[in-house]
Amino acid sequence: MLAKFPGRCTRCLEPIRVGDEIVGSRGEANVWVHADCGSELALPGLAAPPAAGAARAMTASTSRAPKAPKAPKAPKAPKAPKAPKAPKAPMAAPDGATFVYTDGACSGNPGPGGWAWAIDRDQFASGAERPSTNQRMEIRAALEAVTAISGPLVVVSDSTYVVNCFRDRWWDGWLKRGWTTSAKKPVANRDLWEPLVTAVNDRGDVAFQWVKGHSGHEMNDLVDQLAVAASLGRD
């Protein structure tokens, strides 16, 4: 502050003139020193400036310490792959069942179609539908076999469309939904599915099993040849 009145510095004993910069002594009224004298050495009761080291310590203690950086998050462990679903067991063959092999073929899709079933090389049948599709001919072959052969029966087909319908009971949902799929669309080929489902349920002695097509299975190859020949109009 600036002196408003003349006086004497209690440090250097030199006069204090009006307008000189002065500082006061703490705890003592009307005791003044030149500002320079006060900054050089602390007088009793005078507020002396802190030493440089103390000032740094004070600054460090009063200032906030910087936050430690957050530790990076540990990467998430990869999810274990889902175990593949176990394949469903095939339908059990009824006691004393006859095994009949069925297949369908189509030259183009749609195009001229053919179906065939065979118990062996002496007992078989085939036919044609124009135009048709591969799926229609697979269903038609199973329908012809079920309606032509009496007694306990196992229908062996290379069509998962046909086999899974009965193994997984797709037909049960179709009936409950009024012949619509789970996507609320009409079931394709209902004109063939409906009589086949009805015949199988009425009989209660028919099972369906799958065989890999074109794998060298003698009877599957035979019905494939018969269905292709029928689609081409050959006897």
- 103 assigned to active site: yes
- 205 assigned to active site: no
- 158 assigned to active site: yes
| Catalytic residue selected from 122, 214, 216, 218 | 214
| Catalytic residue selected from 20, 34, 38, 104 | 104
Give residues with Cβ within 8 angstroms of 48, minimum separation 6.
Answer: 38, 39, 41, 42
C-alpha separations of 8 from 22, 25, 80 in Å: 11, 13, 88
Q: Which two tokens stand for residue 65?
A: 């310490």
| Catalytic residue selected from 20, 34, 38, 103 | 103
- 221 assigned to active site: no
- 191 assigned to active site: no
| Catalytic residue selected from 34, 113, 129, 138 | 138
| Catalytic residue selected from 20, 129, 144, 224 | 224
- 224 assigned to active site: yes
Catalytic residues: 103-104, 138, 158, 214, 224
